[in-house]
Chain A
């Protein structure tokens, strides 16, 4: 089965601080995604990538940056963390894009911004 890992699993950050969330996959998948999950909002796409050294904006990219230095690794960066970014963040990967392929999710990172 596909393996996606995330680190850290939880983090407490201060408002205005920088936060980096990391994701690693061993599936040899081209597509990787970052979602956030808030109560009542399901999953919302922040950024995605389909090739190393390239990232694309999702539906809610404001306040977030992404980096894909290799096929296996995908990071989400909050340059100036804000209270509204408190959420659970999931990374996912899929074999192909176009919405035709199953997405495999990591365990999630619970981020609390104080």
Chain B
């Protein structure tokens, strides 16, 4: 069964600092990686997605993908207290119709 591993489980960064989150798939056939953010007591909302090798930047958020190592990372620069949340990584596969598998998440706390 496909698995998605995230690290670290939790992370504390100072306000204004850089947060780096990691995610690895166990299946070489993965097509897409997704990053969802879930604030406490809320539902997950898609933050960024990436499907080709390289880097994608949107504002303070940057996602890297290395398909050879099945690894993606999310970097948040100039972290704000409002960035404190559970960050879920998901991987998806084209074949099989629906398949999206979520990792257990990284809980980020940005301390003022």
Contacts and interface: CB of A to CB of B under 8 A. Distances in A.
A42 B97 contact: no
Interface string B75-110: 000000000000010111111111111111100000
A32 to B, nearest CB: 10
A81 B90 CA distance: 29
Nearest to A44: B102
Contacts, number: 64
Interface in A95-114: 97-100, 102-103, 105-108
A35 B101 CA distance: 11
Contacts of B62: none
Contacts of A97: 97-98
Contact of B104 (A31, A33, A40): A40
Contacts of B95: 98
Contact of A99 (B43, B45, B94): B94
Contacts of A105: 43-45
Contact of B97 (A40, A44, A50, A107): A50
A43 B102 contact: yes
Contacts of A44: 102
Interface string A34-46: 0100001111110
A62 interface: no
Contact of A90 (B34, B43, B103): B43
Interface of A: 31, 33, 35, 40-45, 48, 50, 56, 58-59, 90, 97-100, 102-103, 105-108
Interface of B: 1, 4, 31-32, 34, 42-46, 49, 88, 90-105
